[in-house]
């Protein structure tokens, strides 16, 4: 965490420390105020780059490189990572709402809103680079989460649900996960096919690599899938069967078995 140049690395580290209830230990080892300033200063504020203005660069060090290189690192994932980091840090330091920490909150809101697409039936975020359905679902969730953190009014839930339901794909676990995240954010009544989801999870697991593939065609291993599956299963107790040793001594191994049933 001390070398917190990448916003992605920073939020991953902060997230783990928060889950382990160790953020307060970090406060005694790292200047959290400096970390907050590093994140907020990574906001890209060149008004001539209309679609990028208000978003976030990839690293807190990007402010030291040319504007042209900065602009190439502005993607919604970085904005999401920045806001998540500020959420954790502001909660730990009790410094108030995230929106009050930002250099230009209006620019960020404009950045997100400008890239949201609203049709007669759907609302979604148009990715800046990757045009795949899965990236659109991921970025849509990230954009909606950012707007929620900033206290912006909710968008039309029916249109958001329509977008999710129209793009559900039970051959791609990333599709299912971010559809689930969007539905959970607003408690939408999306009817997921549990049987197809279970079948997908079982089919994409590789016993050879002890990892999950991203899709049924098994072309790409994705380490994040394990966390996605656990997160979804964690919130559905009926289908989560966990077996583990009751008594575990300090320094011993813990054998954990988790099944989706």
Which phi and psi (to 5°) does residue 82 adopt?
A: -65, -45
**Which domain, by its residues, includes 86?**
1-96
Asked if residue 36 has pLDDT above 70, the reply is yes
| pLDDT (0 to 100) of residue 34 | 86
Q: What pLDDT is attached to residue 63?
A: 55
For position 238, what pLDDT does the model report?
43
- How many residues comprise the chain? 261
Query: Burial, 170: exposed, middle or buried (Cβ in 10 Å; 0-12, 13-18, 19+)?
Result: middle
Query: What's the pLDDT score for residue 69?
Result: 65
Share of the chain above pLDDT 90, in %: 51
149 backbone dihedrals φ, ψ, rounded to 5°? -60, -35
Any idea which of 4-13, 36-45, 140-149 has the lowest mean pLDDT? 4-13
Q: Which H or E run includes 173?
A: helix 173-186
Q: Please report whether residue 137 resides in a domain.
A: no
Residue 9: what pLDDT?
84
Q: pLDDT tens for residues 204-244? A: 999 888 899 999 999 999 999 999 998 888 776 445 566 66
Write b or e for each residue in 13-29: b if 16 or more Cβ atoms lie within 10 A of its Cβ, otherwise e. Answer: bbeebeeeeebeebeee
Residue 11 falls within a domain, yes or no? yes
Number of domains in the chain: 1
Q: Is the pLDDT of residue 64 over 70?
A: no
R_g of the chain, CA atoms, integer Å = 20
Decide if 129 is inside a domain.
no
Which pLDDT belongs to residue 245? 66
Mean pLDDT lowest for which of 22-26, 35-39, 95-99, 221-225?
Answer: 22-26
Does 3 map to a domain?
yes
Mean pLDDT computed over every residue of the chain: 86
181 found inside a domain: no
Is the residue at 106 inside a domain?
no
Q: Residue 22: its pLDDT value, please?
A: 83
The number of C-alpha atoms within 13 Å of 102 and in the hemisphere containing its C-beta is: 24
Residue with tokens 């549990």: 194
Quick: pLDDT tens for 186-195. Answer: 999 999 999 9
Q: Read off the pLDDT of residues 75-115 as tens digits, 9 standing for 90 and up.
A: 889 999 999 999 999 998 889 999 999 999 999 999 999 99
Q: In this predicted structure, what is the pLDDT of residue 4?
A: 58
Range name among 170-179, 204-213, 248-257 with the lowest pLDDT average: 248-257
Residue 246 has pLDDT above 90, yes or no: no
CA 86 to CA 15: how far, in whole Å?
A: 11
Residue 260 belongs to a domain: no
Q: Look at residue 37 and tell me if it is in a domain.
A: yes
């Amino acid at each position: 965490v001390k070398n917190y140049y990448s916003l992605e690395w920073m939020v991953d580290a902060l997230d783990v420390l928060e889950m382990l209830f160790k953020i307060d230990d970090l406060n005694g080892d790292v200047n959290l105020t400096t970390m907050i300033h590093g994140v907020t200063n990574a906001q890209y504020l060149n008004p001539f780059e209309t679609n990028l203005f208000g978003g976030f660069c990839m690293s807190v060090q990007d402010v030291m490189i040319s504007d042209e290189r900065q602009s190439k690192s502005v993607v919604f994932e970085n904005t999401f990572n920045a806001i998540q980091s500020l959420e954790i840090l502001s909660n730990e330091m009790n410094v108030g709402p995230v929106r009050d920490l930002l250099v230009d909150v209006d620019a960020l809101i404009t950045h997100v809103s400008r890239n949201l697409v609203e049709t007669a039936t759907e609302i979604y975020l148009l990715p800046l680079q990757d045009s795949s359905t899965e990236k659109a679902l991921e970025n849509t969730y990230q954009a909606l989460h950012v707007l929620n953190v900033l206290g912006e009014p909710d968008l039309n839930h029916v249109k958001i649900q329509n977008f999710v339901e129209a793009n559900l794909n039970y051959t791609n676990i990333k599709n299912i996960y971010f559809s689930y995240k969007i539905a959970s954010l607003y408690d939408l009544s999306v009817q997921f096919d549990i049987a197809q989801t279970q079948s997908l999870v079982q089919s994409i697991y590789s016993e050879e690599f002890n990892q999950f593939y991203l899709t049924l065609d098994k072309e790409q291993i994705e380490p994040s899938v394990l966390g996605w599956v656990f997160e979804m299963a964690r919130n559905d107790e009926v289908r989560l069967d966990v077996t583990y040793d009751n008594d575990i001594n300090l320094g011993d191994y813990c054998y954990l078995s988790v099944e989706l049933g």
